[in-house]
Structure 1
Amino acid sequence: MVFKKNKKDNTSEPQTLAASNNDAMGELAIDVFQTPTEIVIQSPIAGVDEDDIDVSIENDMITISGHREKQETVEEKDYFYQECYWGGFSRTVALPTQEVDIEKSKADMDNGVLTIRIPRVEKRKSKKLKITSKDKESQEE
Protein backbone atom coordinates (compact mmCIF):
# COMPACT_ATOMS: atom_id res chain seq x y z
CA MET A 1 0.00 0.00 0.00
CA VAL A 2 1.31 3.42 -0.86
CA PHE A 3 -0.06 6.89 -0.32
CA LYS A 4 -1.52 8.70 -3.26
CA LYS A 5 -2.13 12.43 -3.09
CA ASN A 6 -5.70 13.49 -3.63
CA LYS A 7 -5.38 16.56 -5.86
CA LYS A 8 -8.79 17.93 -4.83
CA ASP A 9 -8.19 18.47 -1.13
CA ASN A 10 -4.44 17.76 -0.79
CA THR A 11 -4.97 14.72 1.47
CA SER A 12 -3.25 11.37 1.26
CA GLU A 13 -5.09 8.08 0.93
CA PRO A 14 -3.49 4.65 1.23
CA GLN A 15 -3.49 2.65 -2.01
CA THR A 16 -2.97 -1.08 -2.28
CA LEU A 17 -0.34 -2.19 -4.80
CA ALA A 18 -1.01 -5.93 -4.55
CA ALA A 19 -4.24 -7.63 -5.46
CA SER A 20 -6.50 -8.10 -2.47
CA ASN A 21 -8.18 -11.17 -3.95
CA ASN A 22 -8.05 -13.91 -1.30
CA ASP A 23 -7.95 -16.59 -4.02
CA ALA A 24 -4.81 -15.16 -5.63
CA MET A 25 -1.56 -17.01 -4.97
CA GLY A 26 1.64 -15.18 -4.16
CA GLU A 27 4.81 -16.13 -6.00
CA LEU A 28 7.98 -16.90 -4.06
CA ALA A 29 11.33 -15.34 -4.83
CA ILE A 30 13.93 -18.09 -5.22
CA ASP A 31 17.60 -18.61 -5.97
CA VAL A 32 18.65 -21.78 -7.81
CA PHE A 33 22.35 -22.58 -8.08
CA GLN A 34 24.67 -25.53 -8.44
CA THR A 35 27.66 -26.89 -6.61
CA PRO A 36 29.82 -29.71 -7.93
CA THR A 37 27.63 -32.23 -6.05
CA GLU A 38 24.11 -30.77 -5.88
CA ILE A 39 21.45 -28.34 -7.07
CA VAL A 40 20.46 -25.87 -4.32
CA ILE A 41 17.22 -23.90 -4.14
CA GLN A 42 16.78 -21.16 -1.52
CA SER A 43 13.74 -19.03 -0.72
CA PRO A 44 13.06 -16.59 2.12
CA ILE A 45 9.76 -17.72 3.63
CA ALA A 46 9.62 -15.79 6.90
CA GLY A 47 6.52 -16.12 9.04
CA VAL A 48 5.59 -19.60 7.85
CA ASP A 49 5.90 -22.75 9.95
CA GLU A 50 7.70 -25.57 8.14
CA ASP A 51 4.59 -27.75 8.61
CA ASP A 52 2.69 -25.25 6.42
CA ILE A 53 5.11 -25.63 3.49
CA ASP A 54 4.89 -28.37 0.86
CA VAL A 55 7.84 -29.21 -1.39
CA SER A 56 7.33 -31.73 -4.18
CA ILE A 57 9.57 -32.87 -7.01
CA GLU A 58 8.08 -34.57 -10.03
CA ASN A 59 10.16 -35.46 -13.06
CA ASP A 60 12.21 -32.32 -13.71
CA MET A 61 9.88 -29.86 -11.89
CA ILE A 62 9.93 -28.69 -8.27
CA THR A 63 6.98 -26.99 -6.56
CA ILE A 64 7.11 -25.08 -3.28
CA SER A 65 3.73 -24.07 -1.87
CA GLY A 66 2.22 -23.03 1.43
CA HIS A 67 0.16 -20.50 3.33
CA ARG A 68 1.14 -17.45 5.40
CA GLU A 69 -1.46 -16.41 7.99
CA LYS A 70 -1.98 -12.81 9.01
CA GLN A 71 -1.44 -12.43 12.77
CA GLU A 72 -4.13 -9.81 13.39
CA THR A 73 -7.08 -8.26 11.63
CA VAL A 74 -6.53 -4.66 10.55
CA GLU A 75 -9.06 -2.58 8.69
CA GLU A 76 -7.99 -1.31 5.28
CA LYS A 77 -8.37 2.33 6.35
CA ASP A 78 -5.89 1.86 9.23
CA TYR A 79 -2.92 0.90 7.04
CA PHE A 80 -0.19 3.36 6.17
CA TYR A 81 1.71 0.77 4.10
CA GLN A 82 0.59 -2.71 3.10
CA GLU A 83 3.37 -4.55 1.26
CA CYS A 84 3.40 -7.97 2.93
CA TYR A 85 1.66 -10.84 1.19
CA TRP A 86 -0.72 -12.91 3.29
CA GLY A 87 -2.38 -16.07 2.06
CA GLY A 88 -1.38 -18.93 -0.19
CA PHE A 89 1.82 -18.96 -2.21
CA SER A 90 3.30 -21.30 -4.77
CA ARG A 91 6.28 -21.50 -7.11
CA THR A 92 7.05 -24.17 -9.69
CA VAL A 93 10.30 -24.20 -11.63
CA ALA A 94 12.07 -26.60 -13.94
CA LEU A 95 15.21 -28.13 -12.50
CA PRO A 96 18.27 -27.14 -14.54
CA THR A 97 19.22 -30.78 -15.07
CA GLN A 98 17.58 -34.18 -14.92
CA GLU A 99 20.76 -35.70 -13.54
CA VAL A 100 19.58 -35.51 -9.91
CA ASP A 101 18.69 -38.04 -7.23
CA ILE A 102 15.31 -36.87 -5.94
CA GLU A 103 15.16 -39.75 -3.43
CA LYS A 104 18.10 -38.23 -1.51
CA SER A 105 16.79 -34.64 -1.64
CA LYS A 106 16.56 -32.71 1.64
CA ALA A 107 14.85 -29.51 2.74
CA ASP A 108 15.47 -27.46 5.87
CA MET A 109 14.46 -24.11 7.28
CA ASP A 110 16.92 -21.79 9.04
CA ASN A 111 16.05 -18.23 10.15
CA GLY A 112 13.13 -18.05 7.72
CA VAL A 113 15.12 -19.28 4.71
CA LEU A 114 14.07 -22.55 3.07
CA THR A 115 16.99 -24.47 1.56
CA ILE A 116 16.43 -27.50 -0.67
CA ARG A 117 19.40 -29.66 -1.64
CA ILE A 118 19.07 -32.11 -4.51
CA PRO A 119 22.14 -34.32 -5.05
CA ARG A 120 23.48 -34.63 -8.57
CA VAL A 121 23.86 -38.06 -10.09
CA GLU A 122 27.32 -38.77 -11.40
CA LYS A 123 27.35 -38.48 -15.16
CA ARG A 124 27.79 -41.76 -16.92
CA LYS A 125 31.23 -42.25 -18.31
CA SER A 126 31.70 -43.63 -21.77
CA LYS A 127 32.03 -47.34 -22.22
CA LYS A 128 33.32 -49.16 -25.24
CA LEU A 129 31.14 -52.10 -26.19
CA LYS A 130 32.55 -55.28 -27.62
CA ILE A 131 30.61 -56.44 -30.64
CA THR A 132 29.89 -60.12 -30.77
CA SER A 133 28.67 -62.04 -33.75
CA LYS A 134 25.69 -64.32 -33.41
CA ASP A 135 27.10 -66.37 -36.27
CA LYS A 136 30.28 -67.10 -34.30
CA GLU A 137 28.30 -67.99 -31.17
CA SER A 138 26.13 -70.50 -33.03
CA GLN A 139 29.20 -72.08 -34.69
CA GLU A 140 30.89 -72.58 -31.32
CA GLU A 141 27.93 -74.53 -29.91
Structure 2
Amino acid sequence: MFFPKKNKKINLRAEAESIPPAGWLDRDEMETEGQLAIDVYQADKKIIIKSTIAGVKPEDLKISLHHDLLTIKGSRSSAKEIKEEDYLYKECYWGSFSRSIILPAEVDSKRIEAELEDGILTVTLYKNNPGQIKVKIKD
Protein backbone atom coordinates (compact mmCIF):
# COMPACT_ATOMS: atom_id res chain seq x y z
CA MET A 1 0.00 0.00 0.00
CA PHE A 2 1.33 3.48 -0.83
CA PHE A 3 1.20 6.24 1.75
CA PRO A 4 1.86 9.84 0.66
CA LYS A 5 4.80 11.69 2.18
CA LYS A 6 3.84 14.28 4.80
CA ASN A 7 7.31 15.75 5.21
CA LYS A 8 10.90 14.57 5.04
CA LYS A 9 11.48 14.59 8.80
CA ILE A 10 8.56 12.25 9.48
CA ASN A 11 9.54 9.91 6.66
CA LEU A 12 13.13 9.69 7.88
CA ARG A 13 11.84 8.74 11.32
CA ALA A 14 9.55 6.15 9.76
CA GLU A 15 12.55 4.65 7.97
CA ALA A 16 14.54 4.52 11.21
CA GLU A 17 11.59 3.00 13.10
CA SER A 18 11.25 0.15 10.64
CA ILE A 19 14.80 -1.08 11.30
CA PRO A 20 15.12 -2.88 14.64
CA PRO A 21 18.41 -2.57 16.56
CA ALA A 22 20.93 -5.34 15.92
CA GLY A 23 20.11 -8.46 17.89
CA TRP A 24 16.67 -7.18 18.92
CA LEU A 25 14.83 -9.98 17.10
CA ASP A 26 16.08 -13.21 15.69
CA ARG A 27 15.90 -13.57 11.91
CA ASP A 28 12.92 -15.97 11.92
CA GLU A 29 10.85 -13.63 14.11
CA MET A 30 11.72 -10.61 11.94
CA GLU A 31 10.49 -12.38 8.81
CA THR A 32 7.17 -13.54 10.28
CA GLU A 33 6.10 -10.53 12.36
CA GLY A 34 3.66 -8.01 10.91
CA GLN A 35 3.85 -4.24 11.35
CA LEU A 36 0.94 -2.03 12.42
CA ALA A 37 -0.21 0.91 10.34
CA ILE A 38 -0.60 3.93 12.62
CA ASP A 39 -1.68 7.55 12.69
CA VAL A 40 0.16 9.88 15.09
CA TYR A 41 -1.09 13.39 15.77
CA GLN A 42 -1.09 16.01 18.49
CA ALA A 43 -3.96 17.83 20.14
CA ASP A 44 -3.61 20.32 22.99
CA LYS A 45 -0.86 18.89 25.22
CA LYS A 46 -1.28 15.31 24.01
CA ILE A 47 0.22 12.95 21.47
CA ILE A 48 -2.37 10.52 20.13
CA ILE A 49 -1.62 7.27 18.33
CA LYS A 50 -4.37 5.36 16.51
CA SER A 51 -4.25 1.98 14.83
CA THR A 52 -6.81 -0.39 13.37
CA ILE A 53 -6.37 -3.75 15.06
CA ALA A 54 -9.67 -5.51 14.52
CA GLY A 55 -9.84 -9.01 15.92
CA VAL A 56 -7.28 -8.39 18.67
CA LYS A 57 -8.30 -8.80 22.31
CA PRO A 58 -6.96 -6.37 24.95
CA GLU A 59 -5.20 -9.25 26.72
CA ASP A 60 -3.29 -9.96 23.48
CA LEU A 61 -1.76 -6.45 23.43
CA LYS A 62 1.31 -5.07 25.17
CA ILE A 63 2.20 -1.37 25.13
CA SER A 64 5.50 -0.20 26.59
CA LEU A 65 7.44 3.07 26.82
CA HIS A 66 11.22 3.24 27.07
CA HIS A 67 12.53 6.82 27.08
CA ASP A 68 11.08 8.28 23.84
CA LEU A 69 10.25 4.92 22.20
CA LEU A 70 6.69 3.62 22.43
CA THR A 71 6.20 -0.01 21.38
CA ILE A 72 2.91 -1.74 20.63
CA LYS A 73 3.06 -5.54 20.36
CA GLY A 74 0.30 -8.06 19.97
CA SER A 75 -1.10 -11.08 18.27
CA ARG A 76 -4.12 -11.73 16.08
CA SER A 77 -5.29 -15.30 15.61
CA SER A 78 -7.85 -16.77 13.27
CA ALA A 79 -10.77 -18.53 14.95
CA LYS A 80 -10.64 -21.30 12.36
CA GLU A 81 -7.69 -22.98 10.69
CA ILE A 82 -7.95 -22.86 6.89
CA LYS A 83 -5.65 -24.84 4.62
CA GLU A 84 -3.41 -22.73 2.38
CA GLU A 85 -4.74 -24.42 -0.77
CA ASP A 86 -8.32 -23.42 0.13
CA TYR A 87 -7.58 -19.68 0.00
CA LEU A 88 -8.64 -17.75 -3.09
CA TYR A 89 -7.31 -14.45 -1.66
CA LYS A 90 -5.27 -14.01 1.49
CA GLU A 91 -4.77 -10.37 2.45
CA CYS A 92 -5.48 -10.39 6.19
CA TYR A 93 -2.50 -10.78 8.49
CA TRP A 94 -2.71 -13.40 11.24
CA GLY A 95 0.02 -13.75 13.82
CA SER A 96 2.23 -11.53 15.93
CA PHE A 97 2.81 -7.87 15.09
CA SER A 98 4.62 -4.89 16.54
CA ARG A 99 5.34 -1.24 15.92
CA SER A 100 7.80 1.08 17.64
CA ILE A 101 7.36 4.83 17.43
CA ILE A 102 9.93 7.49 18.32
CA LEU A 103 7.88 10.14 20.09
CA PRO A 104 8.36 13.74 18.89
CA ALA A 105 8.20 15.18 22.43
CA GLU A 106 8.87 14.17 26.02
CA VAL A 107 5.81 12.61 27.67
CA ASP A 108 4.68 11.93 31.23
CA SER A 109 5.25 8.19 31.68
CA LYS A 110 2.70 8.11 34.51
CA ARG A 111 -0.10 9.47 32.30
CA ILE A 112 -0.54 7.08 29.40
CA GLU A 113 -4.01 5.88 28.43
CA ALA A 114 -4.94 3.12 26.00
CA GLU A 115 -8.43 2.30 24.75
CA LEU A 116 -9.59 -0.42 22.38
CA GLU A 117 -13.01 0.26 20.90
CA ASP A 118 -14.60 -1.20 17.76
CA GLY A 119 -11.24 -2.49 16.50
CA ILE A 120 -9.48 0.88 16.92
CA LEU A 121 -6.62 1.21 19.41
CA THR A 122 -6.13 4.74 20.73
CA VAL A 123 -3.07 5.50 22.86
CA THR A 124 -3.00 8.95 24.49
CA LEU A 125 0.23 10.32 25.92
CA TYR A 126 0.42 13.62 27.78
CA LYS A 127 3.32 15.91 26.92
CA ASN A 128 5.62 17.20 29.65
CA ASN A 129 6.17 20.93 29.83
CA PRO A 130 9.42 21.48 27.89
CA GLY A 131 12.41 21.94 30.14
CA GLN A 132 10.31 21.85 33.31
CA ILE A 133 11.70 19.60 36.02
CA LYS A 134 10.41 19.55 39.58
CA VAL A 135 13.24 19.53 42.11
CA LYS A 136 12.47 18.45 45.65
CA ILE A 137 14.42 20.41 48.27
CA LYS A 138 15.45 18.60 51.46
CA ASP A 139 15.12 20.34 54.83
| TM-score, normalised by the number of residues in structure 1 | 0.69
Paired with 2:99 and 2:47, the residues of 1 have a C-alpha distance of 17
- For 1:43, the equivalent position in structure 2 comes to 51
Give the alignment partner of residue 86 of structure 1, picking from 87, 94, 116: 94
Report the CA distance between 1:97 and its aligned residue: 1.0
**What does residue range 1-141 of structure 1 map to in structure 2 within 5 Å?**
23=29, 24-98=32-106, 100-124=107-131
Structure 2 residues without counterparts, runs of 5 or longer: 1-27, 133-139
Structure 1 residue 122, shift from structure 2 partner: 2.3
Whichever of the two has the greater Rg, that structure is: 1
CA-atom RMSD in angstroms: 1.5
Higher helix share: 2
Give deviations 1:19-57, integer Å, cap 9, x for gaps. Answer: xxx841000000010012100000111001011000001
Could you tell me the TM-score, scaled by structure 2's length? 0.70
Aligned residue type for 1:37? K
Distance 2:50 2:126 in 1: 15
Q: After TM superposition, what 4+ stretches of structure 1 lie above 2 angstroms from structure 2?
A: 122-125
Instruction: Give distance in 1, aligned partners of 2:127 and 2:101.
Output: 17
Alignment partners' CA distance in 1, 2:84 and 2:57: 26
